[in-house]
Structure 1
Amino acid sequence: MTAQPTLAEVRAWPATIPVAKAATALGCSRAQLYRLIRAGVSPVRTLSLGQERVVVITASLVRVLSGEEEFLPDDERLSA
């Protein structure tokens, strides 16, 4: 398993990252993060690029890791 990156390292990442890389930062498996994304309850915001590619928005990951953003399922984000 890859070592969990520091917040400073995550801040230096590109604007979007693969789900596997975000999962490592969150301390969960890639499969678990994909399940959360499909269920609409992911702690980080994502972008769907076509039918099969999903990337994580790094700024959202930084906010979650730093405690700046409370987790809201996608449907609650839209109504907030």
Structure 2
Amino acid sequence: MNKSTRPTLSDVRKWPATISVAQAASAIGCSKSHLHERIRRGDSPVKTIPLGSRHVIITADLARLLSAEGDAAGEPDGIRGAA
């Protein structure tokens, strides 16, 4: 993966079971602060695990979101409210 490009779904599927908010944000195509805010509000598009004062993202759920992007017509980057 090149630092100037978003990671592909194939890249994401090779990542460890959990990743940082910053890494997930780069894959989704939003800022780290935006994803942190959505996590804080309880409407993150991906499942998170709180670890003390920080959160980690479940990579399998991120891959699910990214694979569904083509099905989310009219919604930017396939981001929907948490189910």
Q: CA deviation at 1:42?
A: 0.7
Whether the 8 Å CA contact 1:23–1:30 is kept in 2: the answer is yes
Letter in 2 for 1:55: V
Whether the 8 Å CA contact 1:17–1:56 is kept in 2: the answer is yes
User: What is residue 59 of structure 1 aligned with on the other side?
Assistant: 60
Partners of 2:26 and 2:59 in 1: CA distance: 13
Give structure 2 stretches of 5+ with no counterpart. Answer: 73-79
Whether the 8 Å CA contact 1:44–1:60 is kept in 2: the answer is yes
TM normalised by structure 1 equals 0.82
Partners of 1:60 and 1:49 in 2: CA distance: 17
Q: How many residues align?
A: 72
User: What is residue 49 of structure 2 aligned with on the other side?
Assistant: 47
Are residues 1:16 and 2:18 paired? yes
Give 3-state SS (helix, strand or coil) of 2:19's partner: strand
Q: CA deviation at 1:72?
A: 4.2
Identity over aligned pairs, percent: 53
TM normalised by structure 2 equals 0.79
Whether the 8 Å CA contact 1:2–1:24 is kept in 2: the answer is no
Distance change in 2, residues 1:2/1:18 (3 Å): farther
